[in-house]
Structure 1
Amino acid sequence: MPTKKALSAYRSGKQNCAQSLYSGFQELLQLPGEIIESARKLGGGKAEEGRCGALHAALDLSQREETKEQLRSSFERRAGSQQCREIRNRKLLNCTECVELAAQVLSRNEHSHDEEE
């Protein structure tokens, strides 16, 4: 369910990639609305180290080091990079697909026991 919620938030055009990840997991993780609003500044390659905003948010929400490593390696393998600009230039994944990938990996590796996708 978090993946569907994240994709819906992104596709609505009202939230960037980072915000949509937080929105997708808001209910499950009891996240305050302020975290979603503050993530407005993380889209478009503005996250730390130029990282994809969806990846950045997923790493932030992850509690397990194994999940963080899985997120990083999944982005490297599927998108060719962790950095937004490089991902866009390589065109292996679009922004919607980055949101979906980040949400799926986070959900599968940390929250699969909490809620089914």
Structure 2
Amino acid sequence: MSRKKSEEYFHVLPENLNCAQALLKGFQKEFTISDAEIEEFRAWGGGRAEGGICGALFAAERLLRQAGKPSIESEFIAATGHRNCPDIKESAFPCPHCVRIADELVEKKL
């Protein structure tokens, strides 16, 4: 059975998950992530992650680091043009696309 992609959880009611949360939700089973952990990531969406990094990238990096997998940051930047949320938004690159790209890049590392 294929998993539901992270983008499918982004800003969907009733949870209304942000980019960081949606990324975690998309990999919840693969990484055994609790709903409480996903809720904790509410604080890191919308450009609020450390250094203004995109929340989807922030969550992806956290997952990969915990799994001992390599970073996706350079590939993410190559695909989106930026690392930080404000820069991504300024370039009019849609947030759902960032979530999709981060999801695809994490999936490739697994």
Taking structure 1 as the reference length, the TM-score comes to 0.82
Give the deviation of 1:65 after TM superposition: 4.9
Whichever residue aligns with residue 89 of structure 1, its letter is E
Whether the aligned pair in 1 keeps the contact of 2:47 and 2:55 (CA below 8 Å) is yes
| CA positional deviation for 1:19 | 0.3
Q: How many residues align?
A: 105
Deviation per CA, 1:5-36: give whole Å up to 9, x if none. 31111051510000001100111211111111
**Quick check: which one's helix share is greater?**
1
> Structure 1: which 4+ aligned runs deviate by more than 2 Å?
63-66
- Which of 30, 36, 39 matches 1:37? 39
Identify if the C-alpha distance between structure 1 residues 65 and 24 changes in structure 2 by more than 3 Å, giving closer, same or farther: closer
**Which runs of 5 or more structure 1 residues have no equivalent in the other structure?**
111-117
Q: State whether structure 2 residue 62 is matched by structure 1 residue 60.
A: yes
Q: Which runs of 5+ in 2 are unaligned?
A: none
Percent identity, please: 33
1-structure distance, mates of 2:105, 2:68 = 12
Q: TM-score, with normalisation over the residues of structure 2?
A: 0.87
1:15 corresponds to: 17
3-state SS, counterpart of residue 102 of structure 1: helix
Q: CA RMSD in A?
A: 1.5
Deviation sequence 1:70-94 (CA, Å, 0-9, x none): x211222121111000011112x31
Match of 1:79 in 2: 80
Partner of 2:96: 96
For 1:95, the aligned partner's letter is C
